[in-house]
Chains A and B, each alone.
Chain A
């Protein structure tokens, strides 16, 4: 360690680390020359719990990993178990799942945008973002009674039928939301401070992103056009038209643009989906006691933060033999060190924000 080098700790209790992330920074003056993420403060042993619960009992636990996008985590788990059981959710359930999951993507991106902007010093977007996010959470609440850890889906379909005004409320939200995105962009996209703080900061090349297994908006901002909704469509995504936005340089500004466009695309998916929700049952025929045939399955979906994968091994009993969760936040955070080197301490905050992590999911 040279005379000018300094090691400082950021977190685990620091407002910009979005939870209990501790980052050990090695500095040369104000420049970062190395970093180490220390995680695990929120480890709850979710995978061990899974081995001691039935398949249905474990479903609510996955909501508590990425607690700002619980609907997406739940969808991934339910579909993985359905694959293991070799059953499919009925069409109506799949469309309603798609709508709720896309609303969740918007809600998750809104929370990201508000807090990310706040970290960088723009206070106003937070209030705007939470205003719209609140509308989505109200829809969730009306649908299943919960706002955050929703447990909205069941293995085999849905527990609840959509409420009477579901379509009109989703449509009203989507109609309003178009102009709301413009409001956010008015505040940020051409804002000189915003550009100064994000352009060229935390560049991740496509090759690095792939090597680190980075997925989701972070990967797409690096120029890789890959989205599981297109690559291996699940739920009802094969029925809808939408674009996959990609970036060019892979910097923080590109990731911002990609997520903004993703919210627009999610809105379009919702609008297409509510036009024609097929009638019919909302649950497939699965018994009350689930005993998947022995074997294993890996199922991944495109969560707001990237690929969330479930690797489930069944031994034919009512409880999974092994559940492994591939959390996007955990894997994406690995690329943090690559992104942060050479930047100033103030940029560390921007880079943590731009990866969009939730520590509940990193630590499980």
Chain B
């Protein structure tokens, strides 16, 4: 269908396609964004005419120019850093949601730390995102929840095409089917998974549909022909 330009490597905040520049870098100071908005009403109407009309601008662009991604440095991150050091690649907050990007090989150790020391006892969600232009194309994304702290935390690891990601089934049993689904849809191998087989698609299916290079109309035609007796499932 429509050809899409893909964001470049690194944090997703890099290079917004066209819209407002202020929210670009992850590490911008929040103060700069608040300033123009608070100034506008105070100034006489005539003076603020050229840059201001935020009123006129708002309907077209609903979001105010706020910084959505900020670096995160709370106690959890400090504890994490003191224990794991450089394993923590990046800690940011996106729309007030904490995101840690960590080193892939030590994922199980990190998961155990987060479960036992930081009390993130539930793995709410596990999925992946494909960034084919990036050197390490996959993000494996874990959403954790802590019942005692009522907090959520997102943990990401990056993996290149053939790189295996350590399975966290031994830490959270909930990862079992979710890792199988990621394997099914992206072809990411989870090392140490007890039964890494396809879960939603047929076992013999060729291809990984949620990869970006798998077209929306693409299918395993040989499988469809053989098993369904039709030329196309579309």
A39-B199, A49-B216, A324-B127 given; A285·B58 CB < 8 A = yes
- Chain A positions 207 through 218: 1 when the CB is less than 8 Å from some CB of chain B, otherwise 0: 010111100000
- Whether the Cβ atoms of A309 and B124 lie closer than 8 Å is yes
3 closest A-B pairs by beta carbon, nearest first, are A213-B174, A40-B200, A324-B127
A22, CB-defined interface residue at 8 Å: no
Question: Taking CB as reference atom, which chain A residue is nearest B94?
Answer: A295
Number of interface residues of A (CB under 8 A): 53
Per a CB cutoff under 8 Å, which of A39, A286, A294, A316 touches B200? A39
A184, CB-defined interface residue at 8 Å: no
- Whether the Cβ atoms of B124 and A84 lie closer than 8 Å is no
- Whether the Cβ atoms of B143 and A210 lie closer than 8 Å is no
Segment of B4-12, B83-91, B220-228 in the binding face: B4-12
B209, CB-defined interface residue at 8 Å: yes
Number of interface residues of B (CB under 8 A): 59
List A contacts of B58 (CB < 8 A).
285
How near does chain B come to A206, taking the closest CB pair, in angstroms?
10
A79, CB-defined interface residue at 8 Å: no
Sample of 15 further A-B pairs with CB below 8 A, known A211-B173, A317-B4: A39-B200, A40-B199, A52-B1, A86-B66, A87-B62, A213-B123, A224-B147, A285-B62, A298-B97, A311-B127, A315-B12, A316-B19, A334-B174, A334-B176, A364-B200
List A contacts of B20 (CB < 8 A).
293
Q: Which residues of A contact B (CB under 8 A)?
A: 39-40, 43, 45, 47-49, 51-52, 83-87, 208, 210-213, 224, 226, 231-232, 284-287, 291-298, 300, 307, 309, 311, 313, 315-317, 319, 321-322, 324, 326, 330-331, 334, 363-364
B50, CB-defined interface residue at 8 Å: no
Chain B interface helix/strand/loop/mixed: loop
Per a CB cutoff under 8 Å, which of A52, A84, A317 touches B95? A84
- Whether the Cβ atoms of B201 and A287 lie closer than 8 Å is no
How near does chain A come to B27, taking the closest CB pair, in angstroms?
14
A39-B199, A211-B172 given; A316·B16 CB < 8 A = yes
Q: Give the docked Cα–Cα distance between A213 and B179 (Å).
A: 13
A-B contact pairs, 14 of them (CB 8 A): A40-B199, A210-B147, A213-B173, A287-B59, A287-B60, A291-B19, A292-B63, A295-B12, A300-B124, A311-B143, A315-B6, A316-B19, A317-B4, A331-B174
B43, CB-defined interface residue at 8 Å: no
How near does chain B come to A177, taking the closest CB pair, in angstroms?
32
B141, CB-defined interface residue at 8 Å: yes
- Whether the Cβ atoms of B63 and A86 lie closer than 8 Å is yes
How near does chain B come to A311, taking the closest CB pair, in angstroms?
6
- Whether the Cβ atoms of A287 and B94 lie closer than 8 Å is no
Quick one: which of B124, B141, B216 has the most chain A CB within 10 A?
A: B124
**Which residues of chain B in 118-167 are interfacial with respect to chain A, using CB atoms and an 8 Å cutoff?**
121-125, 127, 129-130, 141, 143, 147, 150, 152, 154
How near does chain A come to B90, taking the closest CB pair, in angstroms?
13
- Whether the Cβ atoms of A298 and B172 lie closer than 8 Å is no
- Whether the Cβ atoms of B68 and A295 lie closer than 8 Å is yes
A40-B200, A293-B16 given; A298·B173 CB < 8 A = no
